[in-house]
Amino acid sequence: MHGKALPYLLLMPATLFLCVFFLYPFVLVAFEALTRDGAFTLDNFRAMAGSWKFPVTVRNTLLLAAIVVPIQLVMALLMASVVSRLETGRSAALYIFAIPLGISDLAAGLIWLAIFDQSGFLNTLLAHLGVVDRPIMFLGYQSKLTIFIAVALAEIWRATAIMMVILVAGMGLIPKEYYEAAEVFGAGPWKRFVRITLPLLRPSLQTAIILRVILAFEVFAVVAALGGTNLPVLMGETYNWQFTLQDRNVAAASALLILAISIGFTLFFLRVLRVPKEARI
C-alpha cells in the first residue's frame, strides 16, 4: 500500500504548486478580463482595442517576431552545424555561443544601448571612419526604424542561443551512418544538410520554433531599454495598463490576448511541423 501511494506523495507538492500558481491564475486572468465590477462584459477588450496605440502595438509585436525568428532559425542552424563539424575547441565554442542564454533580456537591452546610444560605440565607429561628423540620434522618438532595428538585433543576439542549444541536442541524435552513406553516394555537404539533417531534425526544430515564437511575443525589457515608449509592444502595453493607467481589467484582457496568440501559434507549429510517430528516431 505504501509503495502505491509513494509516487503520488512525491508528486503532490509540485502538482499542488502548479495548480495554485499556474492553473488558478489562468482562471483568474480570464475572469478579470471578462468582467468589470462583477458583471460579465467585453468592455475590457473594447477599451484595449480602442486605444490609438493598439494597432501599432500588435503590428510591432508581430513584425518583430516575423523578422527575428526566421533569422534566428538560420543563425542557430549555422551555429549548430558549425559546432558539430568542429574537431578541436568544440566545447569552448559551444560555451561561447550559449552565453546569451544566461543573460537577462533587460541586460541585453542595456548591452545594445551601449552600442546604439547617441554617444555609443556605433557612432564612435562611424565618426572614426569619417562617415558622420556629428553623432546620429539612433534611438530618438523620430527614428522608429532604427529603434526597430536595434531591438531586432538585440533580440537576435540574446535569444538565438536557446534555439542553438536545442538544435545541437537534436543533431546529436542523428546517426552518423546516414551521413557516411550519403557521402558514399556522392552527396555534398549542402545536400547532406538538406536531405538528412533538416528532415531528421524536425522534432527539435518544432520545439525550438515554438519556444522562440512564444518568447518573441513576450518581448518587453529589451524594448523598454532601447526604445522606451517609442516602440510599443504587447507586453509593454500590458504593463502600462496595469501601472500607468491603473486598469487591472484591461491589463488582464491584454494578457489574455498575448496568451491567445501564443497558444494559437503553438498549435499552428505543432500541426505544420508534426512528426509522425514512425518517423521519429
Partner 1 sequence: MSAVTQTPAAASADARKAGDWLLIATVILLGVWVLLPIYLLIVNALSSPEQVTAFPKRFFPAFDTGSLSFFINFAGVARALWNSVLVATLTMILSIGFGAPAGYALSRFDFPGKGTFRFLVLMTRAFPLPLLALPLAVMFIRTGLDDTAIGLALVHTTLALPFAVLITFSLFSGIPVELEEAAWTLGCTRLQAFRKVILPLALPGIAASAVFAFTISWNEVFAAAVLTIENRTLTAFLLQSLGESPLYLKFAGGAALVVPALIFIFAVRKYLFAMWGIANR
Region 12-31 residues binding partner 1, contact defined as CB under 8 A = 13-15, 17-18, 21-22, 25-26, 28-29
Please say which residue, 99 or 145, places its beta carbon nearer to partner 1.
Answer: 99
The answer for residues whose C-beta is within 8 angstroms of residue 222's C-beta and 6 or more apart is: 105, 106, 108, 109, 112, 151, 154, 155, 158
Write out the three cell numbers for 82: 558549425
Please say which residue, 67 or 127, places its beta carbon nearer to partner 1.
Answer: 127
3-state secondary structure (DSSP) of residue 40: strand
Please say which residue, 231 or 255, places its beta carbon nearer to partner 1.
Answer: 255
CB 69 to partner 1: min, Å: 15
Interface with partner 1 (CB under 8 A), residue from 214, 244, 271, 279: 214
Alpha-carbon dihedral 149, 151, 157, 163, rounded to 10 degrees: -110
Please say which residue, 148 or 234, places its beta carbon nearer to partner 1.
Answer: 234
Using only the alpha carbons of the chain, give its radius of gyration.
23
Dihedral sign, Cα of residue 154, residue 86, residue 209, residue 15 = negative
Residue 203 is a binding residue for partner 1 (CB under 8 A) = yes
x/- string (CB under 8 A) for partner 1, residues 48-67? --------------------
The answer for residues whose C-beta is within 8 angstroms of residue 101's C-beta and 6 or more apart is: 161, 162, 165
* Contact assessment for residue 173 and residue 80, using Cβ atoms and an 8 Å cutoff: no
Residue 277 is a binding residue for partner 1 (CB under 8 A) = no
Residue 238 is a binding residue for partner 1 (CB under 8 A) = yes
Beta-carbon count within 10 A of 125 CB: 12
CB 79 to partner 1: min, Å: 6
CA geometry: angle at 176 spanning 174 and 182, to 5°?
Answer: 105
Please say which residue, 51 or 209, places its beta carbon nearer to partner 1.
Answer: 209
Interface with partner 1 (CB under 8 A), residue from 1, 8, 39, 276: 8
* Contact assessment for residue 161 and residue 100, using Cβ atoms and an 8 Å cutoff: yes
Q: Judged by CB under 8 A, which stretch of 43-51, 54-62, 136-144, 257-265 contacts partner 1?
A: 257-265
Query: For residue 185, what is the enclosing H or E element?
Result: none
- Interaction residues for partner 1, span 102-131 (CB under 8 A): 102-107, 110-115, 117-121, 123-124, 127-128
Please say which residue, 51 or 254, places its beta carbon nearer to partner 1.
Answer: 254
- Interaction residues for partner 1, span 153-172 (CB under 8 A): 157, 161-162, 165-166, 168-170, 172
What are the distances in angstroms from CA 97 to CA 56, 159, 168, 248? 34, 11, 11, 40
CB 39 to partner 1: min, Å: 18
Please say which residue, 2 or 176, places its beta carbon nearer to partner 1.
Answer: 2
Interface with partner 1 (CB under 8 A), residue from 208, 209, 231, 233: 208
